[in-house]
Structure 1
């Protein structure tokens, strides 16, 4: 699936928007974007396969967070520029690193 296909979904864009503030677990994320858990998991899997989000566990909860910076810009003539940029991987926070090490 192309990056355009991944980002062309309104539910996935809402998920990305929610994850810009902080990592969230599936049921919390599903509630915040207004979808059922099964749909949220599907969209999160697509985002994870595209390398936009990743996940980590704390006890029984699986949290998702943004992994990449995604930037899109387009401008009309005369410059006629079009750019879809994905940035480097964001390093886990110290707390997330400790959690990942413990698992």
Structure 2
């Protein structure tokens, strides 16, 4: 569970997923104190490296003529694991960091 570095408020996994994937709100805002929370540069690099995983898996499934129901199960497992892993990867900070 991530915490706001200003007030110590716990930020839930669901809030991170909802705000980053749903509303595309960046930076995140702490509910209690209103502090802007940024992703660390390392977190951004890792999360953007996860983006091509789904298209690569889809391409491999199409190339090897995998049956549709197996492909559906594989994609469902992949998406579920990404939703579980993503909030664990994210690290938050008060300062916006450069990528390079």
Normalised TM-score (structure 2):
0.29
Normalised TM-score (structure 1):
0.28
Instruction: Identify which of structures 1 and 2 has the higher relative contact order when contacts are C-alpha pairs closer than 8 Å and 6+ apart.
Output: 2
* Higher Rg of the two aligned structures: 2
Q: Which has the higher strand share?
A: 1
Q: Which has the higher helix share?
A: 2
